[in-house]
Amino acid sequence: MSIAEEKTILICMRVTHHGYHVPGGLRVQCADCGELVWVSPSGWLILHDSPGAEVVCVECGLERMLAEPGKISPPTPAQLDELNEYLHQKGSAA
């Protein structure tokens, strides 16, 4: 598959995962299983910049990764900031 043919797949945490979610996140259905997931503000930017992108939950995303190894892109800087905020919040609650 060429770069022009690559598809963007945004992997998000399920709403049923009780705990922290990124402020400003919106609920969207997983393209594979239909479960609701949180799409963060940086995720919305990715979706805006990638028409035809799919949103999947972590569980379905892992299944896709196992089916097609080597197709994982690193998180964007904005996603890393959100993950760091999550870890900071989680550490404060302990």
Residue appearing with tokens 């760091």: 84
Q: What is the pLDDT of residues 34-88, one digit of tens each?
A: 999 999 998 999 899 988 899 999 889 888 888 877 766 767 788 788 777 777 7
* Cβ atoms of 60 and 12 closer than 8 Å: no
Q: Per-domain residue ranges for the chain?
A: 3-93
Which one, of 2, 1, 8, lies nearest residue 61 by Cα? Answer: 8
Give 73-90 pLDDT, tens digit per residue: 767 788 788 777 777 776
25 and 7 in contact (C-beta within 8 Å)?
no
